Structures are given as structure tokens and as C-alpha cells.
Structure 1
Amino acid sequence: MELSSSAFSHGGEMPRRCTCEGEDLAPPLRWSAVPPNAASLALIVDDPDAPDPAKPQRTWVHWVVVDIPPSAGGLDGEGRSLPAGSRDGTNDWKRAGYGGPCPPIGRHRYFFKLYALDIALPGMSQPTKAELEQAMKGHVLAEAVLMGTYQKQG
């Protein structure tokens, strides 16, 4: 699978509008080459550099999305709704939906990880990353990763 965004390139800087210093809008995402036998897609966005890239102590979860239809082709982002049937999970701010980069110090990396699954996960209302990873075990057909960076400007 391939995962990309029109807002930033792999390894490039994420735009301010997608961060806490801007409108905190999810970036648009597009994917291709989803396995034909995929029943659903799942997305995890996290930052392994929290709180300080020089001394990371934890991975901060910014977004979890489950039951994305394989035919969706992407997420529009920019504050638009998710494809029908998709649901937001719970991020590390203990809320559903996207929470953009807001690094307290230094330049952080943000990993957008898309998984093609051989099952749907309708019983999971607002899963955390850990709950989703547990449910996905043994069901991942393919994975794609897009990484963006951000450092506070203000």
C-alpha cells in the first residue's frame, strides 16, 4: 500500500494549519494499492518523540480511526467528516478525533500508519491505540506509513 498527503511529503514539515498553532485540522490523506481482500482499514497517528526528541519518554497518540471502507481512497481531512462507517478512536487527550502536533520542545516526527485488515471492527466504539492494536493482531494484510515533522514556531 501507498499513503500520501497533499499537505506534506514523507519526511517533510507538516503545515501549521494541521497543528495546535493553526486550526488543528487533520491533513488530507490518500492511499492506493489496498489489498483486494481487505475488509476495513485502520489509521493510527502518533509521535514517538514525546515530550523531548533528545530524551523521548513515550509515544503520544494523536488520532485513531477504525472501520474505514477500503474503497474510500483517502480521508479528506481539513475538518471534513470521515467516510461513512468510519469512527474516531480515543487519542491521548482522552477525546475522539484528530489532535494535531503541539510539541513542547524540538522537532518531532508524526507517523501516519494505515493498516489494511481482513476483518471489520464494528464492536469497537472509540478504541484507544492499544485496544486497536490488540484487535488487529493476526489480521493485518498490509501497512503503509507516512511521516511528517513539526517544531513549534511561536
Structure 2
Amino acid sequence: MPLPLMMETDAFEDGGIVPPRYGCFGGNVQPGFTFRSVPADAGSLALILHDIDVALDGSTEDGLHWTVWNIPPDSGGVPEGGLPAGAVLGRNVENRNAYLGPGAPPGPRYHHYVFELFALAAPLDLPATAGRTELLRAMEGRVIAKAAYVGRFRRPG
């Protein structure tokens, strides 16, 4: 049986606190991730970062912070503050093609930010203007494996 797809970062532990440097009110630096056990038949990878503790406009949509697709499966990951050649940066909740770091308000509880990594059967034919809805639709039926990594964040206050 093959090993499961994995993603790791030195920036914070899985389930741990995201340092302010990676938050939108800190440095807004995109953390780097290392990918392991990428399936041999993967044609590309995609990443989605979202705040699962937010419900936008009374809907089931949560806070989308980052989308990236067509990451080469042999890239080994994404470097801090950058992307491998060929990767496409999609739109976030602010309708910008950018990483938007965690920004949960001060308060008694942390928000949970989920980084999801998808191994896909083939690269996606999507323009950089695409958002999460278009990305998920394009990924439908092409997901070979999936991994997740969670960070918790709240602004001091």
C-alpha cells in the first residue's frame, strides 16, 4: 500500500499556532510547505487555504485565503513567499491573486485555517481569474489523493 500524501512546514506545527509573520496583519508571508509521498501518477497539485470558522454573507462559504494549482508534482513543495515555476495563483476572498494570511479578530477563540493539498490526475486548464468554485469544479473527478495541515490563529488584543 502506498504511503499517504503528506504536507509539512517548519513555520508551525500541524494544529499549532500560526506565527504573526504569516498573518495578514503581520508580515503576510506565505509559509513554505514540503510535499511527500506524491502519487507517481499525479499530473499536478493544487493548494487551497481557508478559514473554516467564517460563514460569509449567511452562506456556507468560508473565508478563502489562497488558491494555487498546476504545481508540478515533482516540485517537492512550495517555497516560503513563492511558488514553483508553472504554478498558477488564483483569486482569494478579496478577489486578488495573492496569498492572504490568517487575520482572525482578537477574542477568546482561535480560528482554524486549513491548508488542503490535492494530487490531481492532470494539470488544470483554468485562467488565473478563477476562484474556488471554478477550481473545485475543474478538480472534480481528477483527485488522486489529498492531505491537510491546520494552523490556528487569532490577533492579539
**TM-score normalised to structure 2 length:** 0.89
Match for residue 42 of structure 2?
A: 38
**Letter of the structure 2 residue corresponding to residue 87 of structure 1:** V
CA RMSD across the alignment: 1.9
**1:87–1:126 CA contact under 8 A, matched in 2:** no
* Structure 2 residue 71 is matched with structure 1 residue 48: no
Q: Deviation of residue 108 (structure 1)? A: 0.3
**Letter of the structure 1 residue corresponding to residue 151 of structure 2:** G
**Letter of the structure 2 residue corresponding to residue 44 of structure 1:** I
For structure 2, the 5+ residue unaligned runs are: none
Match for residue 93 of structure 1?
A: 94
Q: Deviation of residue 119 (structure 1)? A: 1.2
Match for residue 25 of structure 2?
A: 21
Mapping for residues 1-154 of structure 1, pairs under 5 Å: 1-50=5-54, 58-77=61-80, 79=81, 81-105=82-106, 106-154=109-157
Q: Distance in 2 between the 1:98 and 1:138 partners? A: 26
Q: Matched residues, percent identical? A: 38
Q: Distance in 2 between the 1:23 and 1:145 partners? A: 23
Distance 1:126 1:66, change over 3 A: farther
Q: Deviation of residue 85 (structure 1)? A: 0.5
**Letter of the structure 1 residue corresponding to residue 95 of structure 2:** K
